[in-house]
């Protein structure tokens, strides 16, 4: 199928010494926020009919060695550039994970001519160079790459649904709080004020940071005390600081016991009644001898 390029833009592209640049639009999955990057020495404001975005020249994501096929082969490219410190914190916190990405080519001297869609897909792995002043590499995953992935539910004793998704159906109940103080490990230990709950209530729950260096990051709760003392299971991207605002909620350990406790067992996506000899293995049918086995 031939590519559709606006007539006026095609005319500009066919001229010698054409004035074109790439625009890269990233739409985040969590809240729909939009970020734009321009391969130019000045910002470009462009409306693609969906979003009116200021594409920043200060931060860059430039497509490298674009490879596209007319058949069902996967489109392949990486985007290389750099982020300012504020944007880098968002990226490290996972803001760009699986974000929607669109690459346009436009004539920056005549934006009214429209845009050529170079590629559309999702953000993959983001690699940071060892040198903080070095460039960042952003993996582009085309729609064809997503279509070629094998997606199949597994046979499991634990629920395959994610807590709160369409299959689970449980609503999130968040409690807002503020970091009152930080413990001996500022990456995992701190005390939350403004949240009232009994001991262990938020164990295996989720903390989402709303402000501070970790804004946008979601972390799992390892321990919780009624006093607000909290320890996370994994390190935050940046040290937690007193005054950071956050919200916290319960989650699910995906067992039948938890699902019954939520009154949601009818929506459980698991074969939890499958008999197993060793529950520690958590593998349905493991080591159960077949009929006549010695």
Q: Does residue 284 have a pLDDT over 80?
A: no
What's the pLDDT tens digit per position in 159-200?
A: 988 899 988 999 999 999 999 999 999 999 999 999 999 999
Domain final residue, candidates 147, 165, 190: 147
Q: Are 141 and 64 in the same domain?
A: yes
Model confidence band, residue 286 (pLDDT cutoffs 50, 70, 90): very low
Q: What is the DSSP letter of 273?
A: T
Mean pLDDT: which of 47-51, 61-65, 139-143 is highest? 47-51
Q: Are 17 and 125 in the same domain?
A: yes
Is residue 94, in this structure, part of any structural domain at all?
yes
Q: What CATH number is associated with residue 203?
A: 2.40.10
Q: Are 141 and 182 in the same domain?
A: no
Entry pTM? 0.60
Q: What CATH number is associated with residue 124?
A: 2.30.300
What average pLDDT score do residues 35-44 get? 90
% of the chain beyond a pLDDT of 90: 40
Is residue 294, in this structure, part of any structural domain at all?
no
Tally of domains within the chain: 2
Is residue 261, in this structure, part of any structural domain at all?
no
Helix (H, G, I), strand (E, B) or coil at 98: coil
* pLDDT for position 263: 93
- Can you tell me the distance from the alpha carbon of 134 to that of 129, in angstroms, rounded to the nearest whole number? 6
Domain region containing 27: 7-147
What's the pLDDT tens digit per position in 117-151?
A: 888 888 877 776 545 555 677 777 766 656 655 66
Q: What average pLDDT is seen over the chain?
A: 82
Is residue 240, in this structure, part of any structural domain at all?
yes
Intra-chain end-to-end CA distance of the chain, in Å: 62
Q: Are 91 and 136 in the same domain?
A: yes
Is residue 57, in this structure, part of any structural domain at all?
yes
Contact 91/126 with Cβ under 8 angstroms?
yes
Model confidence band, residue 73 (pLDDT cutoffs 50, 70, 90): low
Is residue 74, in this structure, part of any structural domain at all?
yes
Residue 12: partners with Cβ closer than 8 Å, 6 or more residues away: 18, 19, 20, 107, 109, 110, 113
């Amino acid at each position: 199928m031939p590519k559709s390029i606006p007539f006026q833009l095609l005319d500009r592209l066919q001229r010698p010494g054409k004035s074109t640049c790439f625009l890269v639009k990233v739409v985040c999955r969590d809240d729909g926020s939009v970020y734009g990057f321009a391969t130019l020495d000045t910002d470009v404001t462009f409306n693609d009919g969906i979003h009116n975005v200021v594409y920043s020249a200060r931060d860059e994501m430039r497509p490298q060695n674009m490879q596209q096929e007319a058949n069902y082969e996967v489109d392949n490219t990486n985007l290389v550039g750099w982020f300012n410190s504020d944007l880098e914190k968002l990226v490290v916190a996972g803001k760009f994970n699986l974000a929607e990405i669109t690459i346009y080519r436009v004539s920056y001297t005549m934006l009214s001519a429209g845009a050529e869609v170079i590629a559309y897909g999702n953000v993959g792995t983001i690699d940071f160079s060892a040198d903080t002043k070095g460039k960042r590499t952003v993996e582009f995953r085309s729609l064809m790459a997503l279509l070629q992935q094998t997606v199949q539910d597994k046979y499991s004793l634990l629920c395959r649904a994610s807590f709160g998704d369409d299959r689970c159906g449980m609503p999130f109940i968040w409690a807002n709080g503020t970091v009152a103080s930080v413990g001996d490990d500022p990456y995992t230990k701190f005390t939350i004020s403004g949240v009232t709950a009994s001991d262990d209530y938020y164990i295996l729950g989720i903390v989402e940071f709303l402000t501070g260096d970790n804004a946008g990051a979601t972390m799992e709760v390892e321990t919780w005390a009624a006093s607000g003392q909290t320890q996370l299971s994994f390190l935050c991207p940046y040290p937690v600081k007193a005054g950071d605002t956050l919200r916290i909620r319960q989650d699910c350990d995906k067992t039948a016991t938890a699902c019954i406790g939520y009154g949601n067992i009818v929506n459980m996506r698991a074969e939890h009644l499958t008999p197993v000899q060793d529950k520690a293995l958590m593998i349905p049918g493991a080591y159960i001898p077949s009929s006549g086995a010695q």
